[in-house]
Structure 1
Amino acid sequence: MKSIKVMIVDDSAVVRQVLSQVLAADSAIEVIGTAADPLFALDKMQRQWPDVIVLDVEMPRMDGITFLRKLMAERPTPVVICSTLTEKGATTTMQALAAGAVSIVTKPQANLGKFLVNASDDLVNAVKAAARANVKRLASKTPPAAPQAKLSADAILPPASGAMARTTERIVAIGTSTGGTQALEYILTRLPRVCPAIVIVQHMPERFTAAFAERLNGLCELEVLEARNGDRVVPGRALIAPGGRHLLLKRSGAQYVVDVVDGPPVSRHKPSVDVLFRSTARAAGANATGIIMTGMGDDGARGLREMHEAGALTLGQDEASCVVYGMPKEAMKLGAVSREIPLEQIPAAILRG
């Protein structure tokens, strides 16, 4: 098979060396070059254009955001942002995702040797997902450690038992991964203030989800928050699972609330879409709508099938509008999807129910 050609752009020589070492260890990836800033990178890329760029956001001469916007306008190429876990870094990274980056990998501020052990799988998987991405969707504006056992949602909560009575209260549960930040922005900015309650899992590292929710809250008519344990799930509000924690919907008396819990990764993710969808099947049954969107892998497929079996309407984003048609495809294979629709039709489907 053809190897994935990668260019690494970071102003730290040590970081470039570490990232090169991590990626070169995978036989499917070839690091064709490194550069200390985007101007050096552009010069090298003219000789051999990469399939994927791993990009820092804060660099001299030209910052990563300016470079990314130039790239997406002139020659769209999949970009993985490698950013530090800082408040400033998280805010800048949200701008990068909005500009067309495919995904984020966290970069430690210290102890790069530990990064080799703990985050190498994350980086390799992000590069492989980016290589499969439909970057035209991103450019158009329309949008962990050693291998571990792949756990199911059983690790967090049992399946639903019995049918849930239908009520007038509606819950919308959304799960997405690669390309999902742009897709969620498209959907949520097109919803009115009066809309069904929404709970969301977007695969994203810790701390970045807070900046993501804050950004969306400033753009949307509805309220968008990073979920906290015990938050009420009410019309006009969208709650986003915090990175590194599972999000569960539950019923408390006459109200819906969320539990934000720790636990092992499920379907290799934390937060996991399977966990959110299973909890929604248990708590809301036929009163819910489940939507699985762009992303690599199969997280959410089994949970969406449980929602479907509980009587919920289940929707999948169609292949043409996905950045990566992975999660919806796996859900379709399981018979979990009532129907597939393009991204552009999802806001109306949420309002229609």
Structure 2
Amino acid sequence: MVVDDSVVIRGLISRWLDALPDIEVAVTCRNGEDAVKKIADADVDIVILDIEMPVMDGMTALPKLLQAAPGVRVLMASTLTRRNADISLKALKLGAADYVPKPESTREGNAPEEFQRELVAKIRGLGRRRRPAMRAGSAASPAAARRPLSPAPAAAPKPIVLQPASKTRPRIVAIGSSTGGPRALFDLLGALSPSLARLPVVITQHMPATFTSILAEHIEGVAKRPCVEGQTGMKVEPGKIYVAPGGFHMMFEAKGTDTFIKLDDSAPVNFCRPSVDPMLDSLIAIYGPAILTCILTGMGHDGRDAARRVQQGGGTVLAQDEETSVVWGMPGAVAQAGICHKVLPLGQLAETMARLIVGGVS
């Protein structure tokens, strides 16, 4: 379902998606009220929901859509402004699965290719997560029967191999996340906050620049600890949280006994900038086995390769489990690589990390 008051945007997105073999636009709506009326009778997995619309805006419609169609994944769409970034993050707290920034102008259908690529990738990621559960339920509707689904896996997945935790007490917590990450970060850091007085937290969340500054503000609100976007030359201090700014890899360098942030705008890694891998690799040289790494929900495999090097260097790697992940790409990649100490539901990660931070048994 595409919900947008702009006929140009609705038409543009519909043409993109209907041209793909695995995606179908079931219905388009011009405002939130129209969407709420139609959602119950539509065979919809994902809703692309605009924020600013007449009659009923996206934030008003969001809880109504989730109530009318339990399990539907809502992808917020907004132009890349500070106000809309703040609204999008609030929407994630209310149950939206993810967001995608819209281009500033779509005149004559000339929307940036990046918007199209990101939109399609997120729809596919969210759709793969939802369709298997629907296949296990009641018979599909005729519309669903026409839609090609991903083939079932040929064999059951191999059991996940776990590794012992580091024998060294953590001196830094490093977190990587993407799709669904903001809400997971809010939950994790809100619960973990009492244990963070003795060490810093560094985060790479795949987000554009306008969003990362707002993300830091929201994290500070839920964690009740200082949280800022990292800047070159900024000293890393215990009790504080640092978020990689959009468009830059956040890396670290030691000067004497202190650690400082060094931003890098070199090529994307794993199609991402910021990327988790450069962040972790720069930490290994400084903290070695004293790194506690946690990979949360997200598409792709960013963080897997460097997390393997963290584990090989004696550090500890944790991952969010599939059931509680919006998309089990990044955490699934590290889990299936056999480098994790534990793979846990989001609600249990903070408790385990707290025990590791104080040097207890996890």
Residues 1:232 and 2:235 aligned together: yes
Deviation at 1:74, TM superposition (A): 4.1
Which amino acid in structure 2 is aligned with residue 309 of structure 1?
A: Q
Report the TM-score when normalising by structure 1: 0.84
Pairwise CA RMSD of aligned residues?
2.0
Q: Is the 8 A contact 1:104 1:204 kept in 2?
A: no
Taking the aligned partners of 2:68 and 2:18, their CA distance within structure 1 comes to 28
Larger Rg, first or second structure (1 or 2): 2
The SS at the match of 2:66 is helix
Alignment partner, residue 59 of structure 1: 53
Moved more, 21-30 or 79-88: 21-30
Taking the aligned partners of 2:287 and 2:23, their CA distance within structure 1 comes to 44
Residues 1:132 and 2:105 aligned together: no
Q: Is the 8 A contact 2:31 2:56 kept in 1?
A: yes
Deviation at 1:291, TM superposition (A): 0.8
Alignment equivalent of 2:96, drawn from 81, 101, 113? 101
Deviations 1:8-49 (A, max 9, x none): 001111111111122223221111121110111223333323
The SS at the match of 2:179 is coil
Alignment partner, residue 122 of structure 1: 118
Deviation at 1:219, TM superposition (A): 2.5
Unaligned runs of 5+ in 2: 132-166, 357-362
Alignment partner, residue 9 of structure 1: 3
Residues 52-201 of structure 1 correspond to what in structure 2 (within 5 A)? Answer: 52-76=46-70, 77-111=72-106, 113-133=109-129, 170-190=171-191, 191-192=193-194, 194-201=197-204
Q: 1:114 to 1:271 in 2, by over 3 A?
A: farther
Deviation at 1:85, TM superposition (A): 0.8
Taking the aligned partners of 2:277 and 2:48, their CA distance within structure 1 comes to 29
Alignment equivalent of 1:32, drawn from 8, 26, 34? 26
Alignment partner, residue 320 of structure 2: 317
Residues 1:241 and 2:244 aligned together: yes
Which amino acid in structure 1 is aligned with residue 86 of structure 2?
A: T
Report the TM-score when normalising by structure 2: 0.82
The SS at the match of 2:111 is helix
Taking the aligned partners of 2:235 and 2:99, their CA distance within structure 1 comes to 29
Residues 1:278 and 2:285 aligned together: no
Taking the aligned partners of 1:116 and 1:212, their CA distance within structure 2 comes to 24
Deviation at 1:332, TM superposition (A): 2.1
User: How many residue pairs get matched?
Assistant: 317
Q: Is the 8 A contact 1:22 1:116 kept in 2?
A: no
Unaligned runs of 5+ in 1: 1-6, 136-165
Which amino acid in structure 2 is aligned with residue 66 of structure 1?
A: T
Taking the aligned partners of 1:310 and 1:48, their CA distance within structure 2 comes to 51
Alignment equivalent of 1:269, drawn from 269, 272, 280? 272
Moved more, 206-215 or 185-194: 185-194
Deviation at 1:334, TM superposition (A): 2.0
Q: Is the 8 A contact 1:196 1:350 kept in 2?
A: no
Of all paired residues, the percent bearing the same amino acid is: 37
Deviations 1:291-325 (A, max 9, x none): 11111211111110011111111111122222222
Which amino acid in structure 1 is aligned with residue 76 of structure 2?
A: I
Deviations 1:37-90 (A, max 9, x none): 011122333332311100111111211112112223443310111111111111
Which amino acid in structure 2 is aligned with residue 115 of structure 1?
A: A
